[in-house]
Amino acid sequence: MSMLTPPGMGGKYRITGDRYPRMRRPRSRRRLVFAALGSVVALGLAGWGTLQLIDVFSGGGKGGDTVRAARGSADCKRDPGKGGGRDRGSGTSSRTAAAKLPKPSDITVNVYNATKRSGLAKDTADELKKRGFKIGDVGNAPTAYDKKVKAPGMLLGAPGSADGAFRVLGTQLAGTETKNDARRGKDVDLIIGTEFKDLVRQQDADKALTTLTKPSPRPSGSPC
């Protein structure tokens, strides 16, 4: 009988042999689960990083925008004289618009009086002539406008006058209305209205004309 057999027990309950059972600690399942999750996360991060690198170097997504922005800032520093290209940005359109504005000496003004006060057409025409404008007809307003213009004045001309002669002549008289007719010539009518008091002071008119013909500065935040 083995020493491991309890007293009083024998037969089939007898323990025989000289080997003793060894007790082992059960393996921790938590460690196995955490290890598996860690491997999955590491593989996911590695794959995501690889996709980001591919996206950046291929020029797509946000990475492509960053590369294009960097190239754009470099292009802004180039000397336009050496680049041989056209100026970009709002400055070009502003300079072009300013170049298209006619000078006062290129504008022929017909001055008409639509008020009850006499002598306004002649006095106004003389003053505009001193300021460099060409003077055409001078007299009373046509019947269609006589005593019917309430504003200080009305500028009347061909459709193309709105972007040129109207803007230049408008610096001489504040509060003018504009209207187009079917004429083909480049002359412009200045019809003096009821609220007319006087032309803008020549000093102020010259400043307004200078500002009108000066190129506008580029807006802040523009890349070029």
pLDDT tens profile 72-125: 444 545 554 444 444 444 444 444 445 579 999 999 999 999 999 999 999 999
Tell me if 1 sits within 8 A of 12, measured CB to CB.
no
Instruction: Give 37: exposed, middle or buried? Use CB within 10 Å, 0-12, 13-18, 19+.
Output: exposed
Tell me if 178 sits within 8 A of 193, measured CB to CB.
no
- pLDDT per residue, tens digit, the chain (224 aa), is 555 555 665 555 555 555 555 555 555 667 776 777 777 777 777 677 666 656 655 555 544 444 444 344 445 455 544 444 444 444 444 444 455 799 999 999 999 999 999 999 999 999 999 999 999 999 999 999 999 999 999 999 999 898 899 999 999 999 999 999 999 889 999 999 999 999 999 999 999 999 988 766 665 555 55
pTM for the full predicted model: 0.56
Sorted by sequence, the CB contacts under 8 Å of residue 107 that are 6+ apart come out as 133, 134, 165, 168, 169, 186, 188
If you search the block for the tokens 């008409």, which residue do you land on?
112
Q: How far apart are CA 20 and CA 18, in angstroms?
A: 7
pLDDT at 7: 62
Nearest of 181, 124, 131 to residue 155 by alpha carbon: 181
Sorted by sequence, the CB contacts under 8 Å of residue 221 that are 6+ apart come out as none
